[in-house]
Amino acid sequence: MADIGANGPLTGYRVLDLAQPIGYHCGKLLGDMGAEVIKIERPGGDPARLTPPYKDQVPGPERSLYFLHYNTNKRGITLDIASPDGRELFLELVRHADVVLETSKPGTMEALGLGYDTLASMNPAIIIASITPFGQTGPWRAYEATDIAGLALGNPMAISGEPGLEPLQAPGELAYGMASTYGAFGIAVALYHRMESGVGQYIDVSMDESAAHIAGYAIPHYSHEGVKPYRSSRSADVVDLYDAYRTKNGFVRLFIIPAEQWRNLVRWMGDPDPLTDPIFENFEFRRQNTDVVHGAIQEFCLRYTKEELYEEGQKRHIGVSPVNTPVEFINSAHTKSRGVFVDMEHPVVGSYKQFAPVPRFSGSPGRLVRSAPLLGQDNEAVFCGELGLSKQDLAALTAARVI
């Protein structure tokens, strides 16, 4: 077994990773925590290899920075599990695995003869995690969906944006990330349970349920109060100082609710009229006079950089949050001091920075020791070194596009 994060809390566990975008992050989380994750790609390569952005804007299967990010700490093989020979090879890998991570449409693995019952009959300790848009049951089970659908159907998008305007899509792939995170959590719990029971189990993860669960505060509000979730805007007089304020070099957000915080802010601003009037200490009154309040605060914030406002806000116990760009986050003194990014090398991309493992463990920290695999990089080590195929067998299977 390859030395993947030898000190990580999941060291010693092997994961067969068949995931597509909805589950990419799940395998990465497990690999960062020390598990030996074997990414299984179709013989032509995972479509993510052709997903931009690319190194130097030049497309190529080994130049996708998207693929690079999600596949650090994974070994890589190619295998067509839909072919008879590929199925048999996959079953042999399952005999010596702890987890199978897959994201195919419900029923697909069963149709291939690779469903949970079949795999568990060969390896009772196997844990199968299926991450799909809508889960394994229900009328939507066979529907396909992208990340945006998870945010839209799971309710986070409905409460994003200004009232009366179109809903806003969050950047990145947050619904995929939520589903993957819940998947990794489920796998870790199942591995813990297996320590007592000795047997594995099947894990069904739904993307839209994951997205709704992480933003679930709106659900009990509705069920208890009968109030439908709504969007907040200062122009609608429903929030207090949540807006982003322009500074000398960007934006900050302020979060002010207690009267003492308000008084601290007014003193910091130099006690401008009419904000010194005690009536402004009332939360609801400030909501009703947002033009006066926001105008004064905006004028104040323009005198400083967002870093100056943040540092002074900390001293005065006032919630001030700089709105960082990706570059500012990477280069911040705090980020650098914690070693959030690790310098890595890739044979094609070259040097690059990779996010260090999250979360951090004091006794068994994860670590980054392997960049994303080249296409089929570990075929010989796995198929010949572990399963006993000859190099001639490997060549023949490669020619037949089984591998």
Which uninterrupted H or E stretch holds 129? strand 127-132
pLDDT of residue 161: 74
Q: What is the pLDDT of residue 231?
A: 66
Residue-wise pLDDT for 20-43, tens only, equals 999 999 999 999 999 999 999 999
Residue type, 373: P
Instruction: Look at residues 319, 325, 300 and name the one whose alpha carbon lies nearest to residue 245.
Output: 300
Quote the pLDDT of residue 160: 77
Beta strands in 21-98 (DSSP E): 36-41, 74-78
For residue range 104-162, list pLDDT tens digits in order: 999 999 999 999 999 999 999 999 999 999 999 999 999 999 999 888 887 778 777 77
Q: Is the peptide bond before 139 cis (omega within 30 degrees of 0)?
A: no
CA 6 centroid distance within chain:
23
Residue 16 has pLDDT above 70, yes or no: yes
Average model confidence (pLDDT) across the chain: 91
Q: pLDDT digit string (tens) for 235-258?
A: 544 445 667 899 999 999 988 878
* pLDDT reading at 266 higher than 70: yes
Q: Is the pLDDT of residue 73 over 60?
A: yes
Amino acid 242: pLDDT: 62
The pLDDT value given to residue 222: 72
Amino acid 240: pLDDT: 54
172-191, pLDDT tens digit by residue?
899 999 999 999 999 999 99
The tens digit of pLDDT for each residue in 194-228 reads 999 999 999 999 999 998 888 766 777 777 777 66
- State the burial class of residue 16 (Cβ atoms within 10 Å of its Cβ: 0-12, 13-18, 19+): buried
Give the per-residue pLDDT at 7: 73
- What is the value of pTM for the model shown? 0.88
* Residue 402 reports pLDDT greater than 50: yes
What percent of the chain is predicted at pLDDT more than 70? 94
- Sketch out the chain's domains with CATH numbers: 14-215+339-399 (3.40.50.10540), 240-329 (3.30.1540.10)
Higher pLDDT, 287 or 210: 210
Please say whether the beta carbons of 174 and 126 come within 8 A: no
What is the 3-state secondary structure of 186-217? HHHHHHHHHHHHCCCCEEEEEHHHHHHHHCCC
pLDDT at 241: 60
pLDDT score for 124: 98
Residue 192: its pLDDT value, please? 97
Q: Give CA–CA dist 309/357, Å, rounded.
A: 30
3-state class percentages of the chain: helix first, strand second, coil last, to nearest 5? 40, 15, 45
